[in-house]
């Protein structure tokens, strides 16, 4: 007896498929987010000590964790960015502010049809280090201008 994926698993979880976001689940959710779920009861009961709660800033101070987050978030953002770009007409927009944008997946979904726009990009320092080259390549390809700011 053989096994096959359901249509949804085949479309969204098979590496290399157009809508694959498995890396988001494997790396960000499984490795980074799921371990925090062990604190859920304490958080709901109000017994979780403040020093047990790490902020994104604490988390991203580790360059390897920041890179893992950024790369896995890429997989999780492509689909929603694609969908939003189909739903929202930004053809008259010339400036966009992306706060905490990781690798700017959402705005660059919009930038494809809008050359010449300005993206104001604000994110964590550790994320920005790994993404400057990526963002500059995207700006060059789309004819956009990117203003980078770090938190």
Q: CB–CB of 81/24 below 8 Å? A: no
Whole-structure pTM over 0.75, yes or no?
no
Report whether 79 contacts 57 (CB < 8 A): no
Question: Is residue 138 within 8 Å of residue 144, measured between CB atoms?
Answer: yes
The pLDDT of residue 10 is 93
Q: What angle do CA 23, 27, 32 make, to 5 degrees?
A: 150
Spatial neighbors of 55 by CB under 8 A, at least 6 apart, are none
Question: What pLDDT is attached to residue 146?
Answer: 62
pLDDT of residue 19: 86
In tens digits, what is the pLDDT along the chain, a chain of 151 residues?
788 999 999 998 999 898 888 888 888 888 888 888 888 898 889 898 887 877 677 777 787 887 788 778 777 777 787 788 788 887 787 777 777 666 666 666 665 556 667 777 676 666 655 555 566 656 655 566 666 555 4
């Amino acid at each position: 007896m053989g096994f096959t994926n359901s249509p949804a698993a085949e479309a969204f979880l098979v590496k290399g498929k157009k809508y694959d976001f498995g890396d988001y689940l494997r790396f960000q959710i499984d490795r980074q987010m799921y371990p925090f779920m062990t604190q859920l009861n304490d958080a709901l009961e109000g017994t979780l000590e403040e020093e047990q709660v790490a902020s994104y800033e604490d988390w991203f101070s580790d360059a390897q964790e920041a890179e893992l987050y950024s790369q896995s978030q890429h997989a999780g953002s492509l689909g929603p960015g694609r969908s939003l770009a189909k739903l929202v007409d930004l053809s008259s927009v010339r400036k966009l502010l992306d706060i905490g944008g990781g690798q700017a997946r959402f705005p660059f979904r919009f930038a494809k049809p809008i050359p010449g726009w300005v993206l104001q990009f604000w994110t964590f320092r550790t994320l920005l280090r790994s993404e400057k080259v990526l963002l500059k390549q995207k700006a060059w390809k789309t004819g956009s201008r990117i203003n980078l700011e770090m938190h």
